[in-house]
Amino acid sequence: MKTLVALFTVAMLATASAQQPPPLPKTINLYNKATKEPIGTATISGDRIYYRDKDGRHVSTGVVNADGTHSFFDPDGKAITENKKPGQ
What value does the mean pLDDT take over residues 62-84?
A: 86
- Round to whole Å and give the CA distance between 81 and 69: 10
pTM over 0.85: no
Residue percentage of the chain with pLDDT more than 70: 72
pLDDT at 86: 63
What mean pLDDT is reported for the chain?
83
For 1-24, how does the pLDDT look when each residue is reduced to its tens digit (9 = 90+)? 667 666 666 666 666 555 677 788
pLDDT at 69: 86
52 CB-near residues (< 8 Å, 6+ apart): 40, 41, 42, 43, 58, 59
